[in-house]
Amino acid sequence: MLDPSATDDRHDHDPLARPASPRRPVVVLLAVALILTVAVVAVVNAGFGRPATVSLGIAPGNAAPDVSGMTLDGAPFRLVDQLGHPVIVNFWGPSCIPCRSEFPLLRAKAEEHAADGLVIVGVLMDDPPEPARAFARDFGATWPTVADPDGRLKAAYRAVARPQSYFIDSKGILRAIQIGEVVATDFERQYATIEP
């Protein structure tokens, strides 16, 4: 039986305190969601959510990054001097096995498209100059190769593998990117985007 002298704490409360509303957790969740949404929008607008290719400008339809430096032969080279010509920028290195297969094709295509004014320029990626000079000589490269000892060009072009080729039109606009070895069908498809 119940003791009538026992006090009931349930009735002993502050008369000014409001009972917990069942809507309170919903309002808190909505406030947190709003704050998170505002934070995400701010981060995206600051550029952190954009793909790197957009923020760095290395995408088909954008101006190609500059290629400038000394060639393996000790001559200065500037991509800007090639405006008016279709250009292929080819990242390669003598330790790259697919580069060995690609070089004869590039040599043949340079001859085939010479009347178009095609310019091929190599960029030495991740290898020292001496073996590259011997490789270019042995494989009959007729185009210059710019040394990239500090990786500046590799970073500007976001080159990820060797070989990697960039097809640039006569106005300096990047039209196509080929990651990996260029074979004859790839070459013709990509070259059609820059052919005068």
Beta strands in 39-163 (DSSP E): 68-70, 76-78, 87-92, 119-124, 145-147
Query: Which residues lie below 8 Å from residue 161, measured CB to CB, with a gap of 6+?
Result: 179, 180
**Nearest-angstrom CA–CA distance, 106 and 167:** 13
* The residue to which tokens 């954008």 are assigned: 62
Q: Where are the domains of the chain?
A: 56-191
pLDDT tens, position by position, 21-75: 567 776 666 666 556 554 444 433 443 333 333 334 589 999 999 999 999 999 9
* The residue to which tokens 């710019």 are assigned: 146
The mean per-residue pLDDT over the stretch 92-105 comes to 95
CATH number of 56-191: 3.40.30.10
> What letter would DSSP give residue 66?
P
